[in-house]
Copies of this chain bind each other. A is one copy, B any other.
């Protein structure tokens, strides 16, 4: 049974964001021991704190995914000056939090999350485009629709594209969009992996190992967008090779070295981190404690 109190759900989402950014070493990404120049660990803490009321509102909402994603970006941004922190995470968390507000068990969550995303409207698509501008993210715009562009808003409305439709268009090349269209498959896979590992490895290493597994199995969208497909493939292959070398203690040094290399090259697997947050949220919602 899942506790569907809206504050409980919002806190699970908040803690998921904090545990993800704290887990170290998470190759290439910001964590408790690694910062980028302008965006730092503390900016992620402040963002997770700031977004709370939007998460609680989402847990009580039956519709409005797009507006809630935009509000999450805006509210969290008011609490820190480090730029974009959790935009990708909110694209997954907001519908998950809304689905959780309707559910009392995991089977239900799997059904409801599909309903929430399929019920999105044209207005959700327009609001989502507004969220992009608010987040100032460097991403590939969907199809030939430019971000924050009045013509794109018109086109979305004229073609009657819902937010789910936009995700369908992007799903072939964007792992976050693909979550929307495939029933959050990687999210649930990630949740199962973390819960399997937590007893033996503790929360930090359960997250790190699951991150490495995801990275080895799926090319990271953020790397594909910032660099190219080849670079994302290389990163996945390197993760796979490290994981094949043995048990956690044996490969820890290799993970540290991998981390240093990716940080040096500015290669941050941001989309994989977003899925970790979604997976941690599902795990905490299901009662995982440590």
Q: Are B79 and A11 in contact (CB under 8 A)?
A: yes
Check if B22 sits within 8 Å of A41, measured CB to CB. Answer: yes
| A237 at the B interface (CB under 8 A) | no
| Interface of A (DSSP majority class) | helix
In the complex, the answer to whether A49 meets B79 with C-beta atoms within 8 Å is no
Give complex CA distance A203, B46 in Å: 12
Size of A's binding interface in residues, CB under 8 A: 25
- What mask results when residues 1 to 22 of chain A are scored 1 for a CB within 8 Å of chain B, else 0? 0000001000100110011001
A183 within 8 A of B: no
Which of A41, A42, A52, A81 is most buried by chain B, counting CB atoms within 10 A of its CB? A42
Q: Are A15's CB and B53's CB within 8 A?
A: no
A33, CB-defined interface residue at 8 Å: yes
From B15, B32, B33, A49 is in contact (CB under 8 Å) with B15
Instruction: Given A79-B289, A80-B290, verify A45-B33 contact (CB < 8 Å).
Output: no
- Residue in B42, B49, B204 whose CB lies within 8 Å of A204: B42
In the complex, which residue of chain B has the Cβ closest to the Cβ of A15? B49
Tell me the residues in window 59-115 of chain A with beta carbons closer than 8 Å to chain B beta carbons.
79-81
Closest chain-B Cβ to A121's Cβ sits at a distance in Å of: 28
Partner of A52, one of B18, B43, B52: B52
CB of A27 within 8 A of chain B?
A: no
Q: Is A50 an interface residue (CB 8 A)?
A: yes
Q: Which residue of B lies closest to A23 (CB)?
A: B42
Closest to A21 in B: B45
Mask: chain A, 192-236; 1 = CB below 8 Å from B; 0 = not: 000000000001100000000000000000000000000000000
14 A-B residue pairs with Cβ-Cβ distance under 8 Å, sorted by A, are A7-B53, A11-B49, A14-B49, A14-B52, A15-B45, A15-B46, A15-B79, A19-B45, A22-B32, A32-B33, A42-B203, A42-B204, A42-B290, A81-B290
The interface of chain A, by Cβ under 8 A from chain B, is: 7, 11, 14-15, 18-19, 22, 32-33, 41-43, 45-46, 49-50, 52-53, 79-81, 203-204, 289-290
Give 13 new A-B contacts, CB below 8 A, not counting A7-B53, A43-B290: A7-B52, A11-B50, A15-B46, A18-B18, A18-B49, A22-B42, A32-B33, A33-B33, A46-B289, A46-B290, A79-B289, A80-B289, A80-B290
